[in-house]
Structure formats: C-alpha cells, structure tokens
Chains A and B, each alone.
Chain A
Amino acid sequence: MAVITRGFGAHRAARNDRLPPGQTQVEDWPVLSAGATPDVDPAAWEFVVVPESGDPVRWNWDSFRALGLEDFTVDIHCVTHWSRLGTQWRGVPLDRVFEHVDTSYDYVMAHSYGGYTTNVPLNELLDGQAWIAFEADGAPLEAEHGGPARLVVPHLYFWKSAKWVRGLRMMPQDEPGFWEERGYNLHGDPWTEERYS
C-alpha cells in the first residue's frame, strides 16, 4: 500500500503511456557514468567477441561497420527515472555480429574502454533488440554519451547499454557486471521496475 503524500500531484501534466512506471520524460539527454570519460580514437577502436573456444572474433572500425549499419528509433529509460522518447540512432544490430560467432553460451558480459562491464542474456540482444551504435540524433556519438561506439539495449534500463563498448565475453551462466555488483538488478526491465537487487 503506497504512502500518500499530502498535496502532491495537483499540477502534473498528462502522462505519456510510453513511459514505464516511475519514469519522467526529458527532452535533453542527461549524462551518467561512474568515472572519467575515456577518449577512444576510432582508428584504434576494435570490437572483440570472446566465445567459449577462447578464440576471439575481432573487427576494426571499418570491418565492424561493414557488417551492416541500420537506422533505428527507440525510447530509452534510465534507472535514475528519466526517459527519452523517440531517440534516433545508427548502428550495427547484434544479429549481424552473432552471425560470425560460434557459441552455445546463453549470457554475455559487455566490456568497455575504461573498465565498465554489464551483463545481458544473449536472447535479449538478438532478433532486432540491440545494436552497437555509432550515431545519435544524426551525428557521431559524443564521448560523454559513449562515443565512438556504445551498446544500445533499449528494452532494458540504460545502464545495460554500455558506453565506449569494446567487446563481449560469452558466459555459461549469468554474472553481475559493474553496477549489478553494486546493488542494481541483474536483469533491469523498466516496465516492472527492476531497478535494484
């Protein structure tokens, strides 16, 4: 039973039904990261997937983008209660990446330049649900938003969408990443408010 706060709610605006519970729509784009913003040169960027064989599958900037860029428009939801609706992106779907990876493992740990990690089940990265994005709002992704490349998994809270992503490591079972070890939910569905463990 929720606690009612006397007098609250008198001046509120109509609520958009694309907003999950507890979220507020923003027009700007807040920045949240745990530490410094890494400076990653696209010429030096590489993307590496490590499956159970231990043989990494590698791409550089050009070969990765040649997997097939597509434009997508999605709503994004931050655990700190802001949502940004209709954000326009350009990136490579993870489906294209996993055409080149031989794995039977069900879980993925995303790794970033700067050391950040976050875990996601593989089946939530495939079938058009996730991308490695290079552009947002029609321009190259700014460093503070994860440029030159970030993971985008819009159906989960945005801490799962690792900035400055450099690769994926396959795992036989789910393990917590950086924020998940610090009290965030292992899964992170905004519609059921899976914020914290």
Chain B
Amino acid sequence: MITHAAWHAATVSTVAAETRNARRITLDIADWPGNAAGQHVDVRLTAEDGYQASRSYSLASAGPSTSVELAVDKVASGEVSPFLVDELQVGDQLEVHGPLGGWFVWRPGDPSGRPVQLIAGGSGVVPMAAMVRAHRDAADPTPFRLLYAVRSPDDVFFVAELARETSDDEADAVRVDFVYSRKAPAGDDRPPGRLTMERLAELVFPESQHPRIFVCGATPFVEQVLTWLKELGHDVDDVRAERFGGA
C-alpha cells in the first residue's frame, strides 16, 4: 500500500547537532499521514523572492506521528544542506512532499521470517535508523543486524539509539557492528580500515539464512558491497539499494 504523497507545510520544532558535520531536525507536520521505515521526502525551500530549491532526504522516523525527523549531512559545496545544518532555526517553516518511496521500505510483521541485514555507509544509515526504531517499537521478532561503515566514532549518527540496541540483551535487539575506516574508538580490538569482503562475510547474515538485505550509502560503497554480496553467494537481485553521490 502506498500512502498518497502530498505537499505539507512543516514547522521546525527542534534542531540538534548530530555529528560535527550533521544535524538532526524535527519537523511538525499537522496533516502528515505517517510513513513507513525507509521512506523519504522532498524538502522544498522558498526564498522571499520566490526562488525555490528542493532536495530528497530519507526520514529517520517511522510510524503514525505527525512529528518527523531528518538527519542531514552537510555537503560543503551544496546549497540546501549547509542552510539546513547551519542556519535553520526552531520555528522556521518549509515544505515537505511525501511520504515517498515504496521500495526501500521495511514493515514489521513480515511473514517470511527472513532475517534482515542492513548495510550502511556514512549518512546512508538514516533510513536504517528508521527501520531499527520501527523494529523496536513493534517488538518485531525478525532477527536484525546492522553493519555500519563510518569514518570515525565522531561521525556516527544515532549514537544513543544504536547504543541502546547493542546494550540490550533481549533476543529481539538489533545487533550493530561498526567498521571504522579512519579512526577506531580507544580500546577497539581492530585497527581502522576500509570494509573488506572478509569483514563483510563475518558481519552479515550468511547466504544460508537467506536474509533480506538493504544497502544505503555513496555509490562506490554500494557498488562494492553489492559485488561482494554476490561473490558471497547472496541473490543480489533481491537486495534493495539506495545510492547517493556521483559515480
């Protein structure tokens, strides 16, 4: 089922630093119909002279609430993300079109019983965060793992939410594995380094468990992960992927 998407007026209710380069923004949208985990929105900004700019952002929140959350990573050369990260204030208004996308979506209650493997690179973790939260909110028994490739501990989005999953020993908690490319936390038993096929094989559900797999990140990351998943025997035609940035 696809909820019919529409333009909505949104008011900024909170802004908070997410990392040194990213910000979490909560929007109140009175007529928001709710959204599934993994869906996205178009955000439209209009200047006083009528000039407009729009960008797509994944939603970090899911469910029926009319308060929705974005986590925006600043693209230095960009026009919209620096404004959202550095200048937008509580009480400001903008427009949101959505919810959009019925493909890169996880919904609780999947009768197939297949485990779910999430693989995120950098800010590609945003739609995964929505899935992790939806999984917890529904107390869904589907086994979930998140492999999160990120530059350093300072660049991790959703620190508190992910720490809650990793510190929870209930069977339905999400297992979260980090691969740090530049700097690992103090005391980490592995030196920092890029994700390899061997690490991927260690950290994802094996092909024998026939996981559903979602991959989101920059294009080279996603292409590399898909190649490795294929070599590891996964049916990559079944993998759902979202890419951002140039090739």
Show the binding face of A for B, using Cβ within 8 Å. Answer: 2-13, 15, 21-22, 24, 26, 28-37, 80-81, 114-115, 142, 144-145, 182-183, 195-197
Q: Nearest chain B CB to A47's CB is how many angstroms away?
A: 21
The answer to whether A9 and B246 have CB atoms under 8 Å apart is no
Distance of A144 Cα from B89 Cα, bound (Å): 39
> Does B101 make an interface contact (CB < 8 A)?
yes
- Considering only residues 101-124 of chain B, those with a C-beta below 8 Å from chain A are 101-104
- With known contacts A3-B95, A5-B92, A81-B55, A142–B236 Cβ distance under 8 A: no
Contact for B87 among A4, A7, A26, A142, CB less than 8 A: A7
Segment of B45-53, B62-70, B130-138, B165-173 in the binding face:
B45-53
> Does B79 make an interface contact (CB < 8 A)?
yes
> Does B162 make an interface contact (CB < 8 A)?
no
Interface residues of chain A: helix, strand, loop or mixed (majority): loop
* Nearest opposing residue in chain A for B234, CB measure: A36
Query: Which B residues are CB-close (under 8 A) to A24?
Result: 53, 55, 79
> Does B195 make an interface contact (CB < 8 A)?
no
> Does B199 make an interface contact (CB < 8 A)?
no
Query: Which A residues are CB-close (under 8 A) to B182?
Result: none
- Considering only residues 189-247 of chain B, those with a C-beta below 8 Å from chain A are 219, 223, 226, 230, 236-241, 243-247
The answer to whether A31 and B93 have CB atoms under 8 Å apart is no
The answer to whether B237 and A182 have CB atoms under 8 Å apart is no
Contacts between chains A and B (CB distance < 8 A), count: 120
Query: Which B residues are CB-close (under 8 A) to A13?
Result: 79
* Nearest opposing residue in chain B for A22, CB measure: B54
- With known contacts A32-B243, A183-B102, A196-B5, A5–B237 Cβ distance under 8 A: no
Contact for B247 among A8, A21, A28, A182, CB less than 8 A: A28
The contact sample of 5 A-B pairs, CB cut-off 8 A, is: A2-B95, A8-B87, A22-B44, A30-B243, A33-B241
The answer to whether A144 and B51 have CB atoms under 8 Å apart is no
- Considering only residues 3-57 of chain B, those with a C-beta below 8 Å from chain A are 4-5, 9, 42, 44-56
Query: Which A residues are CB-close (under 8 A) to B183?
Result: none
* Nearest opposing residue in chain A for B243, CB measure: A31
